[in-house]
Every structure is written in structure tokens, then in C-alpha cells.
Amino acid sequence: MKFPGALLAVAAIAVAVAGCSAVDEASKTEVAKTKVGDCINITNNSPTDTQGETIDCASPKAVYQVFQTFDKETACPSDDYDTYTEQRPSGTTFMCLTLNLKQDSCYNDAGNSPYKWAECGPDATIKVLERVEGTIDEMECPEGTNAFDILNEPKTLFCLGKP
């Protein structure tokens, strides 16, 4: 019987594949290692070099929550989602992200850059006046709201004003 040699060859291939997978995982940034449901704090919101870290979703710094992850660039379910892409020699990490802005917290919204948490002061450009779950009707926003952002899934309305 030649099975023992064949099993050793299969085992050697499995170890090699697992080793490559471990190396690939080690080369990912902290953000690219996040899983669906995890939250991200954006630490540098440059449109060409966005950087971040995983963080507890209850924190006001948890600006985004991971909705979906893929190993290639993919269309998110709608334009409501922001995206994160990380290219590595061994592959791509692509994520669809939902906003996770907190009521009474301030953020920096720099045009094409992702939102970034900011102290309510000169670095902040917006403040979340109200976060309303279960609706996207901007008429639910309080007086003083000068902008809003919505998520269709899950239905969430962010009423925004000046810091």
C-alpha cells in the first residue's frame, strides 16, 4: 500500500497552505483583520492613505462598523456604504462599512475623506445632534439640523449640525 506516502504529501501541502495563509494574515493591517460587526476608528482620514484601528463599537471613536468583507473589490449593496480596500502582494481585502456615528459626538468630515472622530472644537466640522434608529425620514431631525446622513440597512438617520 502506498497510502502513507500519499498522506504525508497531502499533509505537507496542507501545512504549506496553512503557512502561506498565516503569512498573509500577518501582513494585513489591523483594519484589514477586522470581521463583520467589528468597529473601526479612523486615525488618519487622508483619501489616499486612510489608517485606522479596531475599537469597541460603543466608543464615540468607532466611526464605522464592518458590514461585509470580501477578498476582492466588490459592489456594496448600495451607495450608503463607505468602502475600505487594502492591496497586498498576496491579495486584497475589501470591506463595506456602515456609519456608526454617536449622538452628541463630533467628527471631522473632510470632503472625499472618511469621517474621523474629533473633540467638539475647532477640529470638528459636524456634530451628531440626533441618531434615530429605524427611520430614514429626515423630517425626524430636530431644529438646528443643517445636514443629515442616512443608512438604509439598518435604517438609521443621523441629524447633523455645527459643533
Q: What is the pLDDT of residues 101-159, one digit of tens each?
A: 999 999 988 666 678 899 999 989 999 999 999 999 999 999 999 999 988 888 999 99
Count helices and strands (H / E) in the chain: 1, 10
Q: What is the pLDDT of residues 19-66, one digit of tens each?
A: 444 455 566 777 888 899 999 887 776 666 667 889 999 999 999 999
- Round to whole Å and give the CA distance between 163 and 117: 12
pTM summary value: 0.74
Q: Check residue 3 and give its pLDDT.
A: 33
**What's the pLDDT band for 4 if we cut at 50, 70, 90?**
very low
Average pLDDT over residues 3-17: 37
Q: What is the pLDDT of residues 61-109, one digit of tens each?
A: 999 999 999 988 889 988 888 888 887 787 888 899 999 999 999 998 8
Distances (CA, A) of 39 to 14, 67, 142: 32, 9, 27
